[in-house]
Amino acid sequence: MFCVTGLEEPVQVSLKVTDEEFDELSVSKDIVPAPYVARYKWILVQNTDRFSKKEWEHYIVQSYTLVKNKLPAKIKKQLDK
């Protein structure tokens, strides 16, 4: 799991960010530490208009990479196929 969203309005999105980004983003407008997983540097974006399309692409790809890098080597190898 690297990105979580609901289907009902208002749409909110949780994703993993770097330690530095977590400190900066989690105190900015429309973003809070994600419930239950903030200790792992996850944020909850409460307003999807907060980021541009390019920023969303960056944060989603980065979240995938951060989560993937923590997986066991065997699982990472399967994902790289």
Provide the pLDDT for residue 80. 82
Please give the pLDDT value at position 79. 85
* Dihedral, CA of residue 16, residue 21, residue 24 and residue 28, to nearest 10: -50
**From CA 17, how far away is CA 74, in angstroms rounded?**
24
Question: For 17-46, what is each residue's pLDDT tens digit?
Answer: 999 999 999 999 999 999 999 999 999 999
Half-sphere exposure of 16 (CA within 13 A, CB side): 15
Please compute the mean of the pLDDT values over residues 36-64 and round it to a whole number: 97
Whole-number Å distance between alpha carbons of 64 and 57: 11
Give the number of C-alpha atoms closer than 13 A to the C-alpha of residue 5, restricted to the C-beta side. 14
Q: Which pTM value belongs to this model?
A: 0.89
